[in-house]
Chains A and B, each alone.
Chain A
Amino acid sequence: MKELVELLAKALVDQPEAVQVTQKETDKEVLLELRVAPEDMGKVIGKQGKIAKAIRTMVKAAAAKDGRRVTVEII
């Protein structure tokens, strides 16, 4: 999941080297924190959060097998 968020974010931003994803997990939940360069914030959030929503949808699909709740936060 972490790799997926990283891959998606890097494909969207102008500064892929600034993309960072940290993963915090408990037995029931996975929290992924995405950090990008400040200028790239719009590229991972989008108008009305449309891009962020698409990223979350993809992560949710990838996590379906895993069975845990996955949250993606953009920081």
Chain B
Amino acid sequence: MTQPIIVEKTAKTVKEALNAALLELQLEEKDVEVQVLEEPNKGFLGFIGVKPARIRVTVKPDPLRDAVRFLSDVFLTMDVKAEIIPVWKDQILHITFKGDDLGILIGRRGDTLDALQYLTNLAVNRLSLSRLRIVLDVENYRQRREETLIRLAKRLGDKAKRSGTRVVLEPMNPQERRIIHTALQGDSKLSTFSEGEDPFRKVIIVPKQEIRRPREDRPHGFASEHNISGPRGRTRRYQDRNGLPKSIEKDNSGYDR
């Protein structure tokens, strides 16, 4: 499954055999390693003991070449005209697309770009032993999106602090959730966590005050019981019930028994 691609060719000369192999593989000479298995022999007078050249051509692993080829094939079938610009950075292959009207490659919230990135990673890593990470981008879409998410995180963080209640964000993929968590990590007045199952998992921003407030508001035994399970969900529910003293009394009496 993970073996390199090997082709054996026989022809009159080594050169001819190599050309045939390269044609079959659709590659250039620099992409392969050639091993001569049998030197050709012109024979005596050109007919006695004639032996053809036999070579073994091994395709050198080259993720960049594979990725670019895969992507240009995909664009060809999708009828998308885009320039493919690969750059190595921190052992990660970053590939940017340039062209007009590449919205089709981004999709809703980057859906299409993420799908293409996932498939490119699979296709390129299928034959290689080491796992290489490939990140695709359309003219800084990811960077712009990251900036947007950081702004969103700060704004909603402020809102959570002002109102003292948690803010639930819309569902995001792991990368986008990470951006939100990281953006608010340094804020000592906020904490963040994620809830739900992918693809509906969402980030929740909680003001740290919210965690303490119910403890002060509630009757003693009541608060300590529920604080064991942490501030999530429950806290909010009991706060809401503050407006309905009956239900709190009911809960409380049940608990005292």
Contacts and interface: CB of A to CB of B under 8 A. Distances in A.
Say whether A associates with B. Answer: yes
A64 B119 contact: no
Contact of B78 (A12, A14, A57, A62): A62
Contact of A12 (B74, B112, B122): B122
B83 interface: no
* Number of chain B interface residues as a range: 20 to 34
B111 interface: yes
A50 B115 CA distance: 9
A55 B114 CA distance: 11
Contacts of B74: 4, 7-8, 58
A51 B119 contact: yes
Contacts of A58: 74, 78, 112, 115-116, 119
A17 interface: no
Contact of A61 (B70, B73, B78): B78
* Number of chain A interface residues as a range: 10 to 19
Interface string B107-140: 1000110111011001100100000000000000
Interface in B60-76: 70, 73-74
A8 to B, nearest CB: 6
Contacts of B126: 11-12
A54 B77 contact: no
Interface in A1-58: 3-4, 7-8, 11-12, 14, 50-51, 53-55, 57-58
B119 A8 contact: yes
Contacts of A61: 78, 104-105, 107, 112, 115
A3 B77 contact: yes
A57 B77 contact: no
A53 B107 CA distance: 14
Contacts of A57: 107, 111-112, 114-115
B48 interface: no
Contacts of A55: 115, 119
A53 B111 CA distance: 10
Contacts of B73: 7
Nearest to A61: B112
B49 to A, nearest CB: 38
Nearest to B66: A11
A1 to B, nearest CB: 8
B1 interface: yes
14 contacts: A4-B74, A7-B74, A11-B119, A12-B122, A12-B126, A51-B119, A51-B122, A53-B115, A54-B114, A54-B115, A54-B119, A61-B112, A61-B115, A65-B79
